[in-house]
Amino acid sequence: MNQIEAMSSGRIEILGIPIDNVTEPEALALAAAMIEAGGPHQICTVNPEFIMEARRNPTFRAVLRAADLNTPDGFGVLLAARWLGTTLRGRVTGVELTQGLTRLAAERQYRVFFLGAAPGVAEAAAARLQQRWPALQVAGCYAGSPAPEADEQQRRIIAAARPDILLVAYGHPRQELWIARNQPFLRVPLAMGVGGTFDYLAGRVPRAPRWLRRLGLEWAFRLVAQPARWRRIIDAVPAFLLTVFWQGRRSL
């Protein structure tokens, strides 16, 4: 039994992508263990968009299958697991996990590097988090680029900063591919893609009210707030659920 299995209720698969049945406290405990063990480790917060993209992108699928921890991020993932015969114990989203990791970093003096998002956003997010946890050590902030030709320069910047935690905000699948491509050189104890989390934390993009998130309707709020996301919403909600439904029917 590996460490994840020992601290969770096991690992399931949804459309070929492994999902760990962990709660948020368990995910943070596992993250702390990864950091203490030394690098490199990768955490992915898997939502329906990740799973649908992985069906089309074999490289991304391989990264998700190799990740050290895949948390269930997205109400659709919980519904899909239930339809396929397993009840996941809750969501572990990128926003909450990022905040939990930075709280953990402040408590244990871990150094955090913020990579990605638009210029100035990582700095604003880090400043907001330091207001909340003044002991947080920000190893660095850099907008950077997910393009492979920028890798070497970014590795030099990050290596010089010596972070314990690397948060990468390039959006999926680019951030996960970037981590998988660069971690063998960087060997940061823990790296995680965080999507639009810096924008939320910096106050640049509004987040759905808690009651909508509890109802699993965050996607509707995003559609109203950001209508340009409609293609992504279709992929993440009806297309994903229909695909899971048909897979479940075939397995009966």
Summarised one tens digit per residue, pLDDT across range 76-131 is 899 899 888 888 998 999 999 999 999 999 999 999 999 999 999 999 999 999 99
Task: Report the pLDDT value the prediction gives residue 65, as an integer from 0 to 100.
Answer: 97
In a domain, 120, yes or no: yes
Task: Report the pLDDT value the prediction gives residue 150, as an integer from 0 to 100.
Answer: 97
| Rounded distance between C-alpha atoms, residue 186 and residue 154, angstroms | 10
Determine the straight-line distance between the first and last CA of the chain, rounded to whole angstroms. Answer: 29
pTM score: 0.87
Task: Report the pLDDT value the prediction gives residue 237, as an integer from 0 to 100.
Answer: 63
164-184: pLDDT as tens digits: 999 999 999 999 999 999 999
In a domain, 238, yes or no: no
According to DSSP, residue 215 is labeled T
In a domain, 209, yes or no: no
| Rounded distance between C-alpha atoms, residue 215 and residue 19, angstroms | 21
In a domain, 234, yes or no: no
Does residue 25 surpass a pLDDT of 70? yes
Q: Which range of residues forms the domain containing residue 183? A: 14-201
Task: Report the pLDDT value the prediction gives residue 252, as an integer from 0 to 100.
Answer: 41
In a domain, 112, yes or no: yes
In a domain, 63, yes or no: yes
| Residue labelled with tokens 């480790």 | 41
Q: State the virtual CA torsion across 153, 150, 144, 59 in degrees, nearest 10.
A: -130
Quickly list H helices, 23-90: 24-37, 48-56, 58-66, 75-83
| Cβ atoms 12, 38 nearer than 8 A | no
pLDDT bin (cut points 50, 70, 90) of residue 1 is very low
Query: Given CA atoms 234, 236, 237, 239 in this order, what sign does their dihedral have?
Result: positive
In a domain, 193, yes or no: yes
Q: What percent of the chain has pLDDT over 70?
A: 81
Number of domains in the chain: 1
In a domain, 250, yes or no: no
